[in-house]
Structure 1
Amino acid sequence: MAFQQGLSGLSSSSQALDVISHNVANANTSGFKASQTVFADVYSSTLGADPYKQVGSGSRVAAVRQNFSQGSITETGNSLDMAINGDGFFMVKRPVQGDNQTFYTRAGEFQLDKDGYVITATGYQLLGYPGTAGAGDAVPIQVPYDTGTPRETSTVSLTFNLDANQPVIDQTANPFNPSDPKTYNFSTTVVTYDSLGIAHNLNLYFVRTASGNPSTWDVYGTLSGDTVTDPSLTPPGTPALLGNLPFDASGALTGGSPLSLSFGGITLANGATIGGPVGATSDGTIDINLTATQFALASSVNTISQDGVPAGELAGVSVMPTGQIQARYTNGNVITVGTVAIAAFRNPNGLVSMGDNLWIASLESGPGVAGTPGAGTRGFISGGAVEASNVDLTAELVNMIVQQRAYQANAQSIKTQDQILQTVINLR
């Protein structure tokens, strides 16, 4: 019997050394979870056996159990890297049409492929939800490399002050001329965009025409590229009189703010259109909303906004703690392209390791329940970081010594049994 017991001990210790060696080999593998060997004793089953005289038959490896405790989080500098701070697993799939097998991983070293999909180092696509909804089926997350169709400007808004000390300009003696600063009191420029994403300068000129109550200012406008008003054309265009601003004795606009003016009849030389609201046909008119005051302060603009955008290219990506992946573009747009899905399991130890830092679900683990980071027991995401292996090298080296000693002791028990048998054989 001692031979069988010793052999079972050698086999168990050998498997334990295999597990320890695997842990040590993956001490630097991101998202790796260390394994632990679980031993069980072995007894022969004999009908009517005396419980006081049972002799064991050795040992066996009952299970190799993974330790899913949190690994340390390490900053990487790669904005697409992610670490789950808490429970849960990233969901990934092969980029193969019709392959619906979902894999799970804790390794968050992600990057973009040529089509803008977020993928692992081994090419698996990260799954998530479109936008910020966090509902429906998890699908591959794709980051557009550009923002697509430009949006033409339809509305411009300004907040500004006109200096109450400015003189009245006699327009009979000095008719307005955008090329002559003596014919207007103040001017400002707003960059607008046409349907091709080309920038056009909308120049607004303010001329004080009366100083009483109400004090009145005329507003003129020109647009670069406009065949009617652009002063740089040959011959020069004619500026458009957009309206006037009446101020009361307190320096506020008569009738309240904002005051809305329209710059209409725009025809661009490049054939593009401007002035079309989102989703509507361009009408060649830019609506201008003015919130103004007239105080004894230097004329200045406080805020400018307009709703047009040029075409833009991807400038950077960032990940929020709640899983939103935000793409930043060269035109200033910031778009949430998707929300990372996190899967939770009742029994993570039932997951089946597939290599490449991947697991698949089994009957023992139960199905992965997808959700957004922070929902339920799921952890939050640390962007620009990865989770390090949770292998404790000191503990593994000590366990290696323990298993080495156990292996030697089991080998010694076999040697001792061999010596006893040799003694019996040599009896005369």
Structure 2
Amino acid sequence: MAGFNTAITGLKAATTDLDVTGNNIANSSTVGFKASRTEFGDIYTSAVVGAGSSNVPGSGVTVTDIAQDFAAGTTEFTNSNLDLAIDGAGFFQLADDQGGLTYTRAGAFELDKDGFIVNKTGQYLRGYPVVNDIELPLGNLSVSEKESSPQATYTMDLSVNIDSRKDANELQSLYDKDIPGSYTYSTTMERIDALGDSSAIKYNYVEQRPVKETHTYDYAGAGAFQVSGVTLNTADFTGAGGTLDDAVLSTLQSADGRVFDVVLDQPSAGKIQVIFKSDSTQYGDLVTADGGVALTNEEVTELTAGEQHYFNFTGATSSTLFGGANAVLELSVSGVTISIDTGTSGITAQDIVNEVNAQRTTISNTNSNIESFSLDLSTGSPRMLVNYRAEGGDISNTTLAMQVLSGPINPFSGVAVPGGGTGTLTPDLAVDGDNSYEGTYRLYAYLLDPEDSEKDQLLVIGKNPDPGEAGSLPEKGPILMKFNDLDGNITEINGQTVTSTLAIPQLTVQGFNENDQILANNTDSQSVIKLDLTNTTQFASDSIKKSSAQNGYPKGDLIGVSFGLNGEMVASFSNGQNQTLGVVAVATFENQAGLQPVGDTQWAASLSSGNAIPNPPGTGLNGTLRSGALEQSNVDLSEQLVKLIEAQRNFQANSKTLETLNTVTQAILQI
């Protein structure tokens, strides 16, 4: 009876199904495991003669395939960056010591003693090693860098806001890097040298005070002299105050842009006064006699940068200028009428100045540039000094609009004023104002000594070597930077005009060592830093550092390895640096169902699967990479337990077939 063989095939098929289901259940916790299922086919005896199979009972069942389910398992996160999971299609490619290749979804990796990334059985993870930012062909991935070499700082980005509300007049007149009251704002940045040693650079911002520096020189009153190389003589000066001819002054300022004016004060025992602009710093002896003999720089003073008008009185200070019973002197100062009762004893120059000063508030309301009135006796003869605010700059000599309306005597000329109306007075001497200091700062750079501030090193910032001195350092000292008082942005830096906030030129900071030299085109020297001050502003808010960054770093040791979604293997070092060491390869197949299981949750390529196609994660149809995660088994226990019951039922049913056939056979034998 053929039924016995049919039942036996059923028993065998059910047993295989039980084995497959049991294996699935056994590997329900195996990382990267893929469940299998048993596929069956019926057996029919071939009929050579006959019209069809309707009369063929069949010969049983056979196992046609044990197919694997490559559906993704659950991803569970771990504490190890070397645990990897593929989110999507693909397999990790592994290589053994003999070069054999297998493929897996189990991503539990570790480092071996040689720095290679291996699985628990010692097989190497494959990918694309990266050396010096160059991606190499497919090979075994390893952590080849155990330390990060130091890099010297060669770029700095620094943006600050300097409070425009700060008053430069409150600064100490003599700048000192160690006295906070002598500069407006200060900030520091770290600098790393070529050996990885850390130091600090301090930047001091010093707002220009509204003063002009005046150098006074003794002068015999005869012969020519030189100012900044330009020869001058008495014929170049006019007027009682020794005013320099405009054309000559223009020539002098072209030769030395720091010079504001030159005054030849002949009546005062032969003096030369050289007045420098308010945005200037200290100078040496720029004035020499003809023939190169230096004149004595007798005095250096600071002159308020506001306009100054001098009106000479007649007579001495202690003398009565004029008198007369019930005489009244009427002055008009910027449209404000001031009446002064001279009484019977007359008045002095001081009395007139006092009366004018009493009306200063009212006068200032009509002429906001006026700051003060005072009596000046520096020349021996009294004169009224009118000071204008420095912000007004160079203003007209008729700005005061002062007239003597009536009175017995004009105190400024000594001439009687019958009927009044002498017209606008012109100052006997006018010192031009200067508002070039507004929004101007000196920027200093220092290399700080952590133990002794006396050893702090003034650096060269922004300057180029003098012509003919290539190969040597420029002069150490500050540069000038100017802000637009309308929008608070930089308009000029180091002598270069800035037209856009995106066009601020970079500065060089150098001179860290006494033997530093600047060579031709040596812009990448480790002793030269490129300083970028983009986004530096002068707004009416607190002075703060808005952003700062520098590209130097010390030596670092390896502290870990991590992986990106794109498969990049990145080494992290204790100095904060990261370095890409390679890219993990993800292999795909035209027919992954054709892969041959080889154990340890690995598969090998076969003729059915086709050759592996390795690519970085996330490219094409490849899945992305997740670090610190493992893909768990895709076995569904509840489903497998149901299948176990089904396989058991099938086995029992086939056993029942055998039992029935056996009973029938026994009945036949008993006939």
Aligned to 1:227: none
Aligned to 1:154: 154
Relative distance call for 1:131 and 1:47 in structure 2 (3 A) is same
Cα distance in 1 for partners of 2:612, 2:44 equals 38
Cα distance in 1 for partners of 2:204, 2:135 equals 50
- Residue 99 of structure 2 corresponds to residue 100 of structure 1: yes
- Residue 289 of structure 2 corresponds to residue 289 of structure 1: no
Relative distance call for 1:268 and 1:337 in structure 2 (3 A) is farther
Relative distance call for 1:242 and 1:36 in structure 2 (3 A) is farther
Relative distance call for 1:231 and 1:104 in structure 2 (3 A) is closer
Show the 5 A alignment for 1:14-413. 14-45=15-46, 47-48=48-49, 51-94=53-96, 96=97, 99-130=98-129, 137-143=137-143, 146-164=146-164, 165-167=166-168, 174-176=174-176, 178-211=177-210, 212-215=435-438, 216-224=440-448, 230=449, 232-233=451-452, 236-240=455-459, 241-250=476-485, 251=488, 252-254=490-492, 255-256=497-498, 258-267=504-513, 282-291=525-534, 292-413=536-657
Q: What's the offset of the Cα at 1:289? A: 2.6
Cα distance in 2 for partners of 1:121, 1:62 equals 34
1:290 maps to amino acid: L
1:213 maps to amino acid: S
How big is each residue's C-alpha offset from its partner over 1:80-102, in whole Å with a ceiling of 9 and x where there is no partner? 433323222122223x3xx3322
Aligned to 1:11: 12
2:530 maps to amino acid: D
- Tell me, yes or no, if the aligned pair for 2:85 and 2:630 is still in contact at 8 Å: yes
Cα distance in 2 for partners of 1:301, 1:325 equals 36
Relative distance call for 1:168 and 1:353 in structure 2 (3 A) is farther
- Residue aligned with 1:406, SS: helix
- Tell me, yes or no, if the aligned pair for 1:146 and 1:311 is still in contact at 8 Å: no
**Structure 2: which 5+ runs fail to align?**
211-434, 460-475
How big is each residue's C-alpha offset from its partner over 1:366-395, in whole Å with a ceiling of 9 and x where there is no partner? 111122333333223344333222212122
Cα distance in 1 for partners of 2:144, 2:40 equals 52
1:38 maps to amino acid: E
Q: What's the offset of the Cα at 1:318? A: 4.1
Cα distance in 2 for partners of 1:336, 1:348 equals 31
- Tell me, yes or no, if the aligned pair for 2:444 and 2:477 is still in contact at 8 Å: yes
Relative distance call for 1:345 and 1:237 in structure 2 (3 A) is closer
2:35 maps to amino acid: A
- Tell me, yes or no, if the aligned pair for 1:324 and 1:337 is still in contact at 8 Å: yes
- Residue aligned with 2:162, SS: strand
Cα distance in 2 for partners of 1:377, 1:259 equals 47
Relative distance call for 1:282 and 1:374 in structure 2 (3 A) is closer
Relative distance call for 1:298 and 1:402 in structure 2 (3 A) is closer
- Tell me, yes or no, if the aligned pair for 1:6 and 1:410 is still in contact at 8 Å: yes
- Tell me, yes or no, if the aligned pair for 1:325 and 1:338 is still in contact at 8 Å: yes
**Structure 1: which 5+ runs fail to align?**
225-229
Relative distance call for 1:122 and 1:280 in structure 2 (3 A) is farther
Cα distance in 2 for partners of 1:298, 1:147 equals 42
Relative distance call for 1:419 and 1:389 in structure 2 (3 A) is same
1:13 maps to amino acid: A
- Tell me, yes or no, if the aligned pair for 1:152 and 1:197 is still in contact at 8 Å: yes
1:89 maps to amino acid: F
Relative distance call for 1:231 and 1:396 in structure 2 (3 A) is closer
Cα distance in 1 for partners of 2:514, 2:5 equals 94
Percent of aligned pairs with the same amino acid: 34
- Tell me, yes or no, if the aligned pair for 1:169 and 1:208 is still in contact at 8 Å: no
- Tell me, yes or no, if the aligned pair for 2:129 and 2:137 is still in contact at 8 Å: no
Please, what is the CA RMSD of the aligned residues?
3.4
Cα distance in 1 for partners of 2:153, 2:594 equals 57
- Tell me, yes or no, if the aligned pair for 2:154 and 2:524 is still in contact at 8 Å: no
1:246 maps to amino acid: M
- Tell me, yes or no, if the aligned pair for 1:264 and 1:284 is still in contact at 8 Å: yes
Aligned length in residues: 412
Relative distance call for 1:6 and 1:268 in structure 2 (3 A) is farther
- Tell me, yes or no, if the aligned pair for 1:144 and 1:314 is still in contact at 8 Å: no
Q: What's the offset of the Cα at 1:4? A: 2.1
Cα distance in 1 for partners of 2:575, 2:115 equals 18
Relative distance call for 1:361 and 1:239 in structure 2 (3 A) is same
- Residue aligned with 2:436, SS: coil
Cα distance in 2 for partners of 1:395, 1:114 equals 43
How big is each residue's C-alpha offset from its partner over 1:253-309, in whole Å with a ceiling of 9 and x where there is no partner? 41225344333232399xxx9x99xx9984522232333333333322211111212
Cα distance in 2 for partners of 1:231, 1:340 equals 46
Q: What's the offset of the Cα at 1:221? A: 2.5
- Residue aligned with 2:653, SS: helix
1:342 maps to amino acid: V
- Tell me, yes or no, if the aligned pair for 1:134 and 1:339 is still in contact at 8 Å: no
Cα distance in 1 for partners of 2:152, 2:134 equals 31
- Residue aligned with 1:359, SS: strand
- Residue aligned with 1:18, SS: helix
- Residue aligned with 1:418, SS: helix
Q: What's the offset of the Cα at 1:116? A: 4.2
- Tell me, yes or no, if the aligned pair for 2:135 and 2:582 is still in contact at 8 Å: no
Q: What's the offset of the Cα at 1:107? A: 1.8
The structure whose Rg is larger is 2
Q: What's the offset of the Cα at 1:220? A: 2.6
Q: What's the offset of the Cα at 1:134? A: 11
How big is each residue's C-alpha offset from its partner over 1:309-362, in whole Å with a ceiling of 9 and x where there is no partner? 222234454443333344443322234433332212121111011111111100
